[in-house]
């Protein structure tokens, strides 16, 4: 099935002109969780994991 004919107008699915900021729709608890996830996700960018493993 070729769905391109049913998807003629996608403007309602496009992000707003300044981009989409997910933080505006999250609760305080969800923001805390996101912050913790980001810290874990980007930990190796800010810390030398090889050096840490030598001391632990």
Query: What are the extents of the domains in the chain?
Result: 22-56
| pLDDT at site 38 | 92
State the pTM of this model. 0.49
4-30: per-residue pLDDT in tens? 777 788 888 888 788 777 778 889 999
Q: HEC states along the chain?
A: CCHHHHCCCCHHHCCCCCCCCHHHCCCHHHHHHHHHHHHHHCHHHHCCHHHHHHHC
């Amino acid at each position: 099935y070729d769905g391109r004919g049913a998807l003629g107008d996608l403007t309602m699915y496009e992000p707003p002109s300044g981009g989409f900021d997910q933080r505006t729709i999250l609760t305080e608890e969800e923001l805390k969780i996101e912050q913790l996830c980001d810290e874990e996700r980007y930990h190796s960018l800010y810390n030398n994991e090889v050096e840490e493993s030598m001391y632990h």
